[in-house]
A and B are shown apart, each in its own frame.
Chain A
Amino acid sequence: MKKEIANFKINGRPYEVIVTSNMTLYDLLRELHLTGTKRSCGVGQCGSCTVLVDGNPTLACSTLAIAARDKEILTIEGLAKGAQLHPLQQAFVDAGAIQCGFCTPGMIMMAKAFLDENPKPTRKEVSEGLGGNLCRCTGYVKIVDAVLAAAGAMIKGGNP
């Protein structure tokens, strides 16, 4: 197995890591004890492992770590500013959009990428934007509520 040293910037912090050629981005995050990113299907069908790579929503389970080399990776752990929750995180808490919580990190990261593109979405657009992220607990109603509430808060307070 080929091994090499690669650099990543994850949640604003630089990392120098030895990666093997078959290591996924999910494996890399786990190796760095960033366990917030969850894996449910392992083959890119459920969205649970969504992180942002240079701002683009990316399925960490199906992306090779080496492909994210020298890029900026944002995971759920990097979203809050210290104790200050990101408006999406706050909205998910307030709206009751979290039940078991296993889909939550991927859902929030996907919602962030979506709102970055479309800051004033309709309910239908939010549903479509989150169509690739599965949740087994909530029936999605309160998740969509939360994203709409966060959109409102971000317009008022500025997109952090």
Chain B
Amino acid sequence: MKEELSVVGKRVPRWEAYDKAMGTAKYTVDIELPGMLIGKVLTSPHPHARIIQIDKSKAEKLPGVEAVITFEDIPKRLYTPNRHDLILYHPENECKDMYVISEKARFVGDRVAAVAAVDGVTAQRALELIEVKYEVLPALLDPIKAVEPGAPRIHDFAPNNISLHLNFPGSRGDMRKGFQEADSVIEETFRTSKQLVSQLEPCACVASFGSDGRLTIWSPGQSAFLQRRKLAEIFDMPEGMIRWITPHVGGSFGKYGSLSVEPVCAALAKKTGKPVKIEYSREEDFSRTETRQTYIATGKIGVKKDGTITALQEKLIVDGGAYFSRNSTTTMANMGGFTGLYRCPNAAAEADCVYTNILTTGGVRGYGNSEAMCVLEQLVDKAAKEIGMDPIELRLRNIKKAGDPDNKGLPMETCSLEALIKLGAERIGWEKKRAEKKENGTKMRGIGMAIMMDLSGAHPSCIQHRNAYIKLNEDGSANLTVMAYDMGQNLSGACAQIAAEILGIRYEDIHIVNGDTDSTMFDTGIGASAGLYQVGHAVMNAAQEARSQLLDRAGKRLGVRADELEAKNRRVYIKSDPQRGISIGEVTKEATYNFKGEHLNISGKGSFSPTQSPPPFAAVFAEVEVDIETAEVKLSKILYVNDSGRPINPATVEGQVEGGIAQSVGYCLTENCVINRESGVLESDNFTTYKIPSTLDMPETEIILYEEPVASGPFGAKAAGHGVTIAVNPAIANAIYDAVGVFITDMPATPEKMFEALRRRQAAI
């Protein structure tokens, strides 16, 4: 029986939307402090070079310049910007390979020096006065060349520039036997695209030391406590001496799970004794901060004529760029996704993570699994064609069911894949459209689909530790203090809905305190869609404790036991006699101002550590029209059938899906990261050369929210935001394959690449 809910499941406006609509919401770029200096960073123009000499004397003499720092002025402590080394159960796969400012440049955009001055113009002028002598080294701009014997080392400790070799621990079965049993074996090599995150607020940070020596950081960080610990280690400070504030964030998408300019900003603030702000321009943001990895992925699938997948194998070369950062966890997610989606008894994956002199990479929305599904879901369609079976039929014969292991090997509470596929196929008219004539003049129509399973946070690979605190005010409203961040994902709003539901008050009665390590309790950072499932659960636990105090107190007033009471509509009343009750505001006021001395500030603290990570599922359908003359792909429709459990706020889940579709449309079709193969310079460093979708690039979209609640989630909810970039790209690719028989092995499918692929196909016929 579905319980009666007042706030959960409702499309309430997000709590911070008014500030954003009014222009009063403060982002990191909006932070202004008295006496604040502007910091700027000098970066290497060479992809690989040793710094022989830096002369900063001219820059230092420029009036208005307060500090010029180089590798000589920063703590000699290696770190990794990625947070995972602090929480992974197997941290041996992580690698500290970065200094705040480098002595050796490893990509065009690597930090060489930094300046703080009274204004931006002076700081920029000072950068130009720093004289750097480089010894230019041979640059490795291709991961295949980087691992060749005799290639120069990018990092001294990594022979052959292999930072890590990973054999996927979840590999199973007998690969030789699996491929022998197959009637058809298909192998293809893919190159996935190096997507630039393109969050609209360019990378920024403000750092300020107080007179007590405490450092305050304002940054878009999405792992405040872990990032604080990293800074503490770099600068040899106790964690408590650092306060990290994450204001509203103008988009993160995983990027700010890593440190970016915070250490250099803090180094400038330390040197000058004044607040310093660094704000990157768009070009700087694009050419200096973390992107997706490029995977050169060789995927192999074996299928029987009856559609049984007998073997799945993946070999990866991961171009991680100049620093290791998130290579290990993204690659593990890739291999987990590739081997985990289908029931296939024989599955194996291995990877070489490789250093190159290319723009550094990190963990971007849907990481690993997005790239894995580009490969796997296209292979499945090709296999279906080989054996003459409908690709949906092939999927239905191999998908997992509830109780089967998920991508991480944990048994699944639910698995809605079959239902999602059938629902979507029916809705879009799959059978009819697949059978339809495809030609329309020079335009070829196609329809394709893909599926995915993802996760609700990083359990069981990482420590996931969540906390929340709720106190009731005298008027019966409440403050919810929780590290929920605001990156646009509306986690705080959803948490408020959960708290309001449990406390029996209105959504607008919850006032949120968020994003400050001084006021919120510890949290391991948002990522992999951990937010609602995990943080929401801590909020639920906190709210239940506060509710139990509330009912106890009300019970004393009403002369009944707490378990006879219900809290709803801002009243506590007797369940068997709802007319008898008392307003929550009256209970809290009496408890706060108690003239008998029986004071109580009704409150609750909740924690959560997951034992599961229920996967959200999706079946995505795409319709395209490919013009064989111009090679242009027109995406006409996306149907996204989504299972995020029970949505706490359906509008938020839809918004996550719609945004994920847009990012995937860019990833698949328009966003082409171009790095000059000789100079190593990022050429697509603005929104004209790197084209994220606008309204005009978007297809008609339809979303179906299929609700299958999970018992372990708060009110049955699981993840929504991370996984929505995973299945759209392969669905579009499969639609292109259906339209023109061209396999998208080099992404994105720009007209240039499509033209070449069509030409090759024509030649082969």
Q: Which residues of A contact B (CB under 8 A)?
A: 33-43, 45-46, 48, 75-77, 79-80, 85, 89-90, 92-94, 96, 98-105, 108, 126-128, 130-144
Separation of A122 and B24 alpha carbons in the complex (Å): 31
| B659/A127 in contact, CB under 8 A | no
- Tell me the residues in window 472-512 of chain B with beta carbons closer than 8 Å to chain A beta carbons: 486-490
| A96/B655 in contact, CB under 8 A | yes
Q: Is B272 an interface residue (CB 8 A)?
A: no
Separation of A148 and B106 alpha carbons in the complex (Å): 50
CB closest chain-B residue, reference A99: B488
Residue B659 contacts which of A89, A133, A139 (CB distance < 8 angstroms)?
A139
Q: Is B64 an interface residue (CB 8 A)?
A: no
- Tell me the residues in window 202-230 of chain B with beta carbons closer than 8 Å to chain A beta carbons: 202
Interface size in chain B (residues, C-beta < 8 A): 55
Q: Which residues of B contact A41 (CB under 8 A)?
A: 282, 686-687
Residues A85 and B694 in contact in the complex (CB < 8 Å), given A45-B686, A102-B27, A134-B200: no
| B686/A43 in contact, CB under 8 A | yes
| B659/A138 in contact, CB under 8 A | yes
| B14/A96 in contact, CB under 8 A | yes
Separation of A75 and B651 alpha carbons in the complex (Å): 28
Residue B22 contacts which of A33, A85, A137 (CB distance < 8 angstroms)?
A85
Residues A85 and B695 in contact in the complex (CB < 8 Å), given A137-B251, A141-B658: no
The listed residue with most B CB atoms (<10 A of its CB), out of A48, A99, A135, is A99
| B20/A104 in contact, CB under 8 A | yes
Separation of A39 and B27 alpha carbons in the complex (Å): 12
For the complex formed, measure the closest distance between the CB of B494 and the CB atoms of chain A, giving whole angstroms: 12
| B17/A139 in contact, CB under 8 A | no
CB closest chain-B residue, reference A20: B121
The listed residue with most B CB atoms (<10 A of its CB), out of A98, A136, A138, A143, is A136
For the complex formed, measure the closest distance between the CB of A140 and the CB atoms of chain B, giving whole angstroms: 5
Separation of A45 and B282 alpha carbons in the complex (Å): 11
Q: Which residues of B contact A (CB under 8 A)?
A: 11, 13-14, 16-27, 29-30, 32, 198-202, 248-251, 253, 281-282, 486-490, 651-652, 654-655, 657-663, 686-688, 692, 694-696, 698, 701
Separation of A77 and B224 alpha carbons in the complex (Å): 30
Q: Which residues of A contact B655 (CB under 8 A)?
A: 96, 99, 137-139, 142
| A138/B200 in contact, CB under 8 A | no
Q: Which residues of B contact A137 (CB under 8 A)?
A: 251, 488, 655, 659
CB closest chain-A residue, reference B286: A41
Q: Which residues of A contact B248 (CB under 8 A)?
A: 100-101
| A128/B696 in contact, CB under 8 A | yes
| B13/A128 in contact, CB under 8 A | no
Separation of A85 and B692 alpha carbons in the complex (Å): 31
13 extra interface residue pairs, beta carbon distance < 8 Å, beyond A41-B686, A131-B694: A37-B23, A38-B250, A89-B22, A96-B14, A99-B655, A100-B488, A126-B695, A131-B695, A134-B694, A136-B253, A136-B662, A136-B692, A142-B655
Residues A132 and B694 in contact in the complex (CB < 8 Å), given A80-B22, A101-B20, A139-B661: yes
For the complex formed, measure the closest distance between the CB of A93 and the CB atoms of chain B, giving whole angstroms: 4
Q: Which residues of B contact A142 (CB under 8 A)?
A: 651, 654-655, 658
Q: Which residues of B contact A140 (CB under 8 A)?
A: 658, 662, 694-695, 698
The listed residue with most A CB atoms (<10 A of its CB), out of B251, B489, B660, B661, is B251
For the complex formed, measure the closest distance between the CB of A26 and the CB atoms of chain B, giving whole angstroms: 11
